[in-house]
Structures are given as C-alpha cells and as structure tokens.
A and B are shown apart, each in its own frame.
Chain A
C-alpha cells in the first residue's frame, strides 16, 4: 500500500508537467493574444513591440521552459487582462469554487447513499421507484439546462432564491443542486447496484442467521462491503465535478475558478488559463490520493496485502 501511495505521489509532478505542456502547446497554436490586447488602430510596429515585451517572439520551447521555471516557484506570470499576478487571480477565485463543489459533493453524497441503500433493501418498492426516477432525470438533464430551469422557477417566477452572485447562503442553493445533480443520480444508481449485489452474498445470510437486527445487517455488513466499489465511483465523480464547476459558475455567475478560467480563455489571458488548469490538475490529483487513502482504510485486503 505504501508503495502505491508513493507511486501516486511521484505521479503528481509528471501529470502536472504533461498537462501544462499540452495546454501550453494549444494556447500557442491558437495564436498570440497581442492583437486582442491592442486597440484596433495599433500599427504593425506597435504589435511587434508588444510582442517583444511579452516575449512572444521567442521560440516555443524557450517560452515553455521559462514558464515551467516560474510555475514551480508559484509564478505564472501577470494576467494580461487584470494586470495582476495570475496566481493571485486564481487563488482569489479558489474559495468560491471549493465552497460550491464542497456543497454539491455533500448534497450528492448525503442524498444518494441513503436513497440507493433503501432502494436496494426494498427492491421494487416506492423508494426504489423514486431512486430510479432521480437517476434517470439526473443523468438525462444537462447542468446548464437544469440551471436555467431552476432560475426561471425559483428566481424569476417565485422569487425565492437569488439567480446569481455569492455571499448569502441562499445564493449557494441552486448552483450546488445543479452541480451535484448528476453525481447524485449516478451515485444513487451505483449504490443501489452495489448493495443489491452485496445483499445476495453468503455472508449476509450469515449475518441474518446470527440474529442481528436488520439495520446492522444492512449498514454494517452490507454497506461495509458495498462502499468499496461506491468509493471508486465517488472518487471519479468528485474529480469530474471540477469540469461541472465551469458550466455551473457560468450559468449562476458564481465568482469561482471555473468562471475565471472561462473568462481567461475568452480573452486569451494565457497566464490565468495556465494557472487555473494547473490548480484544477492539482485538486484532481489530491482527490485521487485521498480516495486511495480511503481504500486503505476501508478495505483490509488492500491494507494487509
């Protein structure tokens, strides 16, 4: 296990390196941002001068090397749009994103697990029907569409919740629901499947033959085993939620990392793009590492192997 963790830790810089190279390559290939930065009437000489100031006249690899050198010291350059260090722009937006993703994650986990467990225990019952409906709705409705629907209903028609912004807790409700919607659906379905599978195992029959109360059979014996495959999906989804923040934050104008990166891409603010992608990558890797650690805690076969 220690070996796996060590291996994972060594993976982090490699993944970051590869990701940054790809992003850097694409940004360069899409043209330099100088034209966008200068007014329309700027002369060719102006453009050339600007290009030289920003270093765009130098070869690709030299620029990438320079970027890397700065990046490892936390310096991603200056935002072309905001004239502030790119890393500051990104770090300022991070808490809002963590708040949103955290709320969505919590919501999805707290609803999907009990729902999936109850659906599996009372198969073909009412709760099972609810769980199936939730998972079909969740997997068939894209975030942006759901977001707009919610804004129409709760903000425009009913006026209960603010349509955008951040600050009061009510502003968090709709973005968190929209972001957690898909994960909740997938997790509910996954939990049900895993629980149904485990409930058919011989050791569940043993637990019943011991005269244990139903609650203990289901929560300790069945869920104690089912949570291992559930954790796999949870980890994947928690990572995938990062992409969801880009859309959600745009729909609800949530001042987070996702929206910052979209603005940066639109305005060719490549230092901010690179900084936000580096941060996204890092968060993703940290989640993976945490999931691996959780396997260690939950599965004795991993722990003792």
Chain B
C-alpha cells in the first residue's frame, strides 16, 4: 500500500459503450485523485458521465459492452482497470463501499436487512452467522437505524426511504472500507431526511477516516460536504479545485451556468381585484384501513384533512410538503379526480356534487401536469396526437388545418419546434418532454393548472427554464397555478402564496414573501433549514413514531396516499 500517496488515483480514464459505428464515448480523459480521508465531489447534470466515472472505479460497468479505451485506476497502489474478477471481488464491498440514489430499489426486496448485511461480512471476513449477526446489529446502531434488532428481520419494503439508505450505508461500511462511493445518495429523499443522511455521512467520515467520493447534481450538497470538486460536462472534467476556491471564483462557463441555475426571479404580482378561479373549503380525504379475515374497515388514514385554499386568476399557490404529507392527494381532490370531503367552487360554480359526466366538458378549463414526463406521455403516440387529443375530446376547432394550427401554436409557445410534431416522446430530452406535457394542457386554454412536482425529475438548469416558461405563460394568459412541490427553491421562485402541509393538514399558510422570510411554525422552519442550509436536524433521528416523516413512518404514512410500488393486498 502506498503510504502517504493518494488512496485513489484515476488517470486519463475514458469509457465507451458499444463498438464500431454505434460506439458512444461516455467519459473522455478524466483524471483525479482522492487522498485518505478526503472528500471529492463529482458534479454534473444528467448525462455528464459522473455516474459512469464512479462505477468505473470498482469496475462495475457492464463489460464487455463498456470498455476503457484509455486510462488507469489505481486504488491503494494496485491497478483496477483490467484486473481479474476475483481480485476485484476482494476489493468491492471490502475496501470500497458504495451507496446509490434509490435506496429502496438498491436493496434486494426478498432478503431481510440483516441477511443483506451479514452476507457481505461473510463474503469478506468469513464470519459465521452468529458473529455476522452480531456485527450487523452493531452496524445498524452505528448508522442509527431505530429499533435495530427488529430491523435486522425487516424487508426493504417495510422501511422508509431514509431508513433504507441507512441500511445501505451499513452494508457499504460493514467491512471498514477506505473509500465510500456515494452516487446521488440523497436525491430520492425528502429534504429533512436528506439533511440527516448527509449529517450521518459527515460524522462517519470523521469517525472512520473514510475517503468519500460524492457524486451529485446538487451544488449545495457539494458545498457542504466536499474538500475538492470536479465539475463534469459531456464526459470531461471541465473544472477542478478546492470547494472554497471553486465556489468563490468559478472559471469555466459551465460551472458558472450551474451556479446560476438556481431557479430565480419573483412571481408576477397579482392584482387584488383578479377574480377567484378556484375556491376549496375543508377538503378532506380518508382511505379505509382493512384488516382481519373479512377485510373489515378497522380505521381510516386521513390523507388530507380540512384544507382550504383559493387561487385567483394569474396567481400561483405553492403547496409544500414532504412525501406522505398529502399534497398529491390534495391536487387530485381539487380537480375532482378523487372525491372526498369539502366544497369546491370553480369560477363561482359549485362543482362539489356535480356528476362526473357533467364535469367532463368543464375539465378543459382545469388541467394537470405530472412529475415524470417520461411516464406521463404515451410512448406510442406522436407529439401532435398527444397535444391534439384534448382538442378532439372537447371538440375544439375543426379537424384538419385548424387543429394542426392550434397544436403548432401550443408547441411554439412552450419552445418546441412545431416541425418536430410528428416525432415520438422518446426522441426528446426530459425537459423537452415536460414542455410537451405543458403544451398538451395549454392547447385547451385552461383557467387553472395543477402542477404536481413538474420540475422534480429534471436537472437544475432545466428546472430553471421550466420555471421561466411557467411564469411566462402565466403572465401571458393569466392562468392560475396550484404548484405542488417538495422543492422550496422552485416554489420560492414561482409562488405568490404558499401552504405548508404535514400529515394531511396545513401547518402554515400565507403570502410567499412573508412566509419565506419569517416561517412561524416549527415544522416549516425545520423544512426551510434543511432545504436552504442542509444542516442536520437538531433532534437528528427521532425515535420510531417521532415527529419527522420519512425517518419513521408509522403504518399510517406507509398507507395509500401515494401508493408505494411494493404495496400488496391480502392479509
């Protein structure tokens, strides 16, 4: 082992996928070093090659489909590129630990947490089962998973996202690695949970003298965590330096662009006499809990309780909350996609009890845009069919040139070249697809749009563009928005008024400016602190059943509001 030298040294690394004419160069001549105990941040947007670089280190790319046309990766003095599989196996999970973006899908769904920790101990240390079990328990305590004894026997679907990431960290640290590679470790988590996980990583790093390679798109995280930063774009490192220097004086235009990509600007002021488009009072939604042999209803989960809000023409109401807070259910209630309690008035007309069939012609006026534009657009329909479907359903315009003109106008308005209208969704980038999803709604000339996390699946710089677009469209057409998001930076840039939700109820609401400047409710404050400062909670890691969602959901939070993919029926 090279004492005193770098722990990891990557020189002139390139990665190609495929061969011949189909060859795609994902990474090109990347070089960096990580010293013992050092944290390196690898920053870039999607497609920049940062994850491919990270996976190259333990040689986890899909070889031989992936190749390294050039480069060397030396870890603890030994070359990893082209090393035989058995040698790599002794390093992976032993000297190098890894954690990933989606903690839930990164754990094997049919093995218990205990088994998944024990197997990595047994593979590398040859421990017998009781010894491995004992050590697994120590590790779960180390990552401060509540109720470690019980969690050993839990399956991943019985954990929250934050708990699953803690379990993943326990797996990665089981054999005291020297290097931890963390690939977007907190991207899929709620802000308060994110802050807790980052706090835990920082603490473990100090205690164990661990070197950390942190891959992320989030500059705020890098700023808090990394000693040095490499900025990647198009497979190359375009800028590198100490964190302090890089943030103080970014040299490369791409770095500057990333730093400037925070959604900015202020919402367009709404005149006080603007008519109210949507008014909702006392909205509520309960889901029954069934149990026992006969599936009798034994209780209810109150996903939304007593929420009132009103939106004026040209106004944006931001709905903020973490997963399980009921914000998505609220959006569906507002549009009567689900029926619950409360009254809803749309343009003065009470639509609460109106039968669905009678509601249908009205729907052109209140529309919804979803989070994931990949799954929200049918992959088998052309863009013009997707955008034109609403026209057809509502009988707007004459079939033929008139409708085509409307489709083209809507596409042009969202910044999509109308000449591409005969293409399929997969031919567009994520940001473009979200623009198409907006065009689909816009073509109907709606009065109100519910936007359910419309920017969450997008890169920061693309988010900023979508926010600009939404603001622009609002100014031009006076559309009212209900903007549902967990992302406070985006909400701040767009919303005139904000309601903060937690466990189905509104904990705080008011004009955006005042609320962001002086949050009053403790939950709002903790949310803002986590989002804007990335400080761990003062009461980091509450016991099971504690106050913070995500860290410890009771059965109530795991239940219907946003059905988990693992949800199964039966009993």
Contact = CB atoms under 8 A, between A and B. Distances in A.
B98 A300 contact: no
B475 interface: no
B225 interface: no
B111 A202 contact: no
Contacts of B569: 305
B89 A3 contact: no
B60 A203 contact: no
Contacts of A209: 58, 60, 92-93, 97-98
A291 to B, nearest CB: 15
Interface string B380-422: 0000000000000000000000000000000000000000000
A9 interface: no
B570 A212 contact: no
A243 interface: no
A6 B292 CA distance: 12
B110 A211 contact: no
A205 B85 CA distance: 15
A228 B108 CA distance: 14
Interface in A256-305: 298-302, 304-305
A298 B97 CA distance: 29
A301 B155 contact: yes
A2 interface: yes
Interface of A: 1-4, 6, 201-203, 205-214, 216, 221, 224-225, 228, 298-302, 304-305
Contacts of A301: 109, 155, 157, 566, 568
B571 A2 contact: yes
B467 to A, nearest CB: 30
B89 A213 contact: yes
Contacts of B566: 301
B295 A3 contact: yes
Interface in B102-160: 102, 105-112, 119-120, 123-124, 155, 157-158
B570 A221 contact: no
Contacts of A216: 119, 123
Contact of B110 (A4, A208, A225): A225
- Sorted from nearest, which 6 A-B pairs have the closest CB atoms? A211-B92, A210-B93, A211-B93, A209-B98, A305-B568, A211-B89
A216 B93 CA distance: 14
A216 B569 CA distance: 31
Given A209-B97, A212-B120, A301-B568, 19 more contacts: A2-B293, A2-B571, A202-B102, A206-B168, A208-B92, A209-B92, A210-B120, A210-B171, A211-B92, A211-B93, A211-B120, A212-B119, A221-B108, A224-B108, A224-B110, A225-B108, A300-B109, A304-B155, A304-B158
Given A210-B123, A211-B124, A304-B155, A202 B100 contact: yes
B90 interface: yes
Contact of B108 (A6, A207, A211): A207
B110 A300 contact: yes
Given A209-B98, A210-B93, A1 B105 contact: no
Contact of A1 (B102, B112, B570): B570
7 contacts: A3-B295, A203-B107, A211-B93, A211-B123, A211-B124, A212-B93, A212-B119
Contacts of A208: 60, 92
A263 to B, nearest CB: 43
B568 A302 contact: yes
Contacts of B120: 210-212
B110 A210 contact: no
A202 B156 CA distance: 13
Nearest to B155: A300
Which of B92, B110, B111, B112 has the largest number of chain A CB atoms within 10 A? B110
Given A1-B571, A205-B100, A212 B106 contact: no
Contacts of A225: 108-110
**Candidate in B88, B108, B120 with the most chain A CB atoms within 10 angstroms:** B108
Given A1-B570, A1-B571, A2-B293, A206 B171 contact: yes
B106 A299 contact: no
A301 B109 CA distance: 8
Nearest to A301: B568
B94 interface: yes
Contacts of A1: 570-571
Contacts of A214: 85
Interface string B70-96: 000000000000000100111111100
A224 B111 contact: yes
Given A4-B570, A213-B89, A298-B110, A206 B100 contact: yes
A211 B571 contact: no
Interface string B272-308: 0000000000000000000001010000000000000
Contacts of A298: 110
B525 to A, nearest CB: 35
Nearest to B58: A209
B351 to A, nearest CB: 37
A211 B102 CA distance: 20
Interface string B246-283: 00000000000000000000000000000000000000
Nearest to A221: B108
Nearest to B174: A210
B295 A212 contact: no
A305 B94 CA distance: 35
B227 to A, nearest CB: 24
B109 A206 contact: no
Contacts of A213: 89, 123
A3 B110 contact: no
B386 to A, nearest CB: 28
Contact of B60 (A3, A205, A300, A304): A205
B272 to A, nearest CB: 51
B119 A210 contact: yes
Nearest to B158: A304
Contacts of A2: 293, 571
Contacts of A203: 105-109
B118 to A, nearest CB: 11
A283 B115 CA distance: 37
A135 B566 CA distance: 32
B196 to A, nearest CB: 21
A3 B571 contact: yes
